[in-house]
Amino acid sequence: MNGKIKLFTDSAADLPQHYRDKYDIDVVPLSVIFGTEEFKDQVTLSHDEFWRKLINSEELPATNQVNPHEFAEAFEPYVNDGYTILYVGLSSSLSGTLQSATIAKELLNTERIHIFDSKSASIGETLFLIKAGEMLEAGYSLSEIWKVLEKDREESFAYFILDSLTHLVKGGRLTKTQGLLGSMLSIKPILRITPEGTIEAEEKVRSTKRALQTIVAKAQGRNVDFSKKRVAIVHTYGAETVPELMELVQQELGPKEIVQGLIGPTIGTHAGPGGIALFF
């Protein structure tokens, strides 16, 4: 047996409840700020409440990373109980949250906390967690799991389409120039998460239909045998193209499984409504 290993992530992972329960994964929440009010993602602010607030809010919300003490508080009982912790976190290029987890490890003065930078976000983090959960169940050691996650990270990708780039620009995840490209005419910008874990505008197309076809074609261009692989489709509130993308992915990629999810408060703050993404 592989000793006691406990999986952790942050609320940016948009981890569906089913997997949270199945692999007993603890989620440390980031904060979402509307004006003077601060909420803990999915603790004091549900998905539904968040999207309702966002749509009715005059000003755009902001997010706050998890602080080191919150991580230390979450990790400590497990460390004291003899567990080894594997935390799969939001890309360190997008948030200081991963750095906070590293500081928490130093505060607790232990070698039993292992911090994996997903170099991704949202359901991209979830895909690593599912893999880790499956391998734990099958009795693999932490070092074996770590090697597989590293290999998966090298091959991973994410392409997404947003209704508006306003939220990403305001949150500092895209430059104003990149943001302008999207607001011109009826251009649909296709964005991607780079291997370094940053977000960049990949190309611009004229319609949503074309955008969906393009992100699936980009996945095809990766020369991966998807029949043995899992992909994920995630969307924000108001995205009506989920069935269309599901069908395209089934037809063109034929993956072993499609994981589906709804984007929650942390990532939703930066993506805004009407967004959809394909992760592998």
Task: List pLDDT tens digits, range 146-178.
Answer: 999 999 999 999 999 987 666 555 555 555 555
pLDDT for the residue 110: 97
Residues 6 and 84: beta-carbon distance below 8 Å: yes
Query: Residue ranges per domain, the chain?
Result: 5-30+65-155, 158-279
How far apart (Å, rounded) are the C-alpha atoms in residues 143 and 114?
10
Q: CATH for 5-30+65-155?
A: 3.40.50.10440
Same fold, 5-30+65-155 and 158-279: no
158-279 has which fold? Hypothetical Protein Tm841; Chain: A;domain 3 (3.30.1180)
Q: pLDDT over 90 for what percent of the chain?
A: 76
SS (H, E, C) 207-242: CHHHHHHHHHHHHHCCCCCHHHCEEEEEECCCCCCH
Q: Is the pLDDT of residue 182 over 70?
A: no
The helix/strand/coil state of 108 is: helix
Residues in Cβ contact with 133 at an 8 Å cutoff, skipping those fewer than 6 apart: 7, 19, 22, 23, 25
In order of 22, 154, 212, 270, the CA distances from 15 in angstroms are 11, 21, 23, 17
The helix/strand/coil state of 137 is: helix
In this prediction, residue 58 has a pLDDT band, given cuts at 50, 70 and 90, of confident
The predicted model scores a pTM of 0.91
pLDDT for the residue 1: 38
